[in-house]
């Protein structure tokens, strides 16, 4: 009986440990950076041309991931913010924005589920 209880406790501990190592706890944060199509984030600090901005908007509207490039790295935007806010996406792409939402880290990627996103002042 005691052996069964110990095995069960060990199993619960292992599952909890596995969960803690695969995803970080989420936290409400406000971050500031440049709104980009995630594939274009590799451009570094280069200022995108008007044609490149239009391309990023098209790619984002086609479902490619978008994110906010900050000094800490790229926060990929999760959820449906991009598809639900096509007009704002086109207006804010490649501009400095301030976003508030739940941040987390999973698999080495920074993630942001946006609750508000606006032009940075």
The percentage of residues in the chain with a pLDDT greater than 70, rounded to a whole number, is 75
**What's the confidence (pLDDT) of residue 40?**
80
Establish if 100 belongs to a structural domain.
Answer: yes
- The CATH number of the domain where 107 resides is what? 2.40.50
Total structural domains in the chain? 1
**What's the confidence (pLDDT) of residue 63?**
87
Q: Cα–Cα distance between 63 and 80 in angstroms, integer?
A: 10
Establish if 83 belongs to a structural domain.
Answer: yes
Establish if 114 belongs to a structural domain.
Answer: yes
Establish if 7 belongs to a structural domain.
Answer: no
Mean pLDDT for 36-64 is 84
**What's the confidence (pLDDT) of residue 21?**
46
Domain residue limits at 42: 26-119
Establish if 15 belongs to a structural domain.
Answer: no
């Amino acid at each position: 009986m005691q052996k069964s209880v110990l095995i069960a406790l060990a199993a619960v501990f292992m599952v909890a440990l596995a969960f803690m190592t695969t995803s970080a706890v989420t936290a409400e944060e406000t971050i500031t950076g440049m709104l980009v199509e995630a594939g274009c984030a590799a451009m570094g600090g280069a200022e995108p041309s008007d044609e490149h901005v239009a391309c990023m908007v098209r790619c984002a509207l086609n479902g490619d991931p978008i994110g906010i490039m900050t000094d800490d790295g790229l926060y990929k935007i999760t959820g449906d913010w991009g598809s639900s806010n096509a007009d704002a996406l086109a207006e804010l792409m490649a501009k400095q924005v301030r976003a508030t939402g739940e941040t987390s880290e999973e698999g080495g990627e920074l993630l942001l589920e946006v609750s508000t996103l606006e032009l940075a002042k």
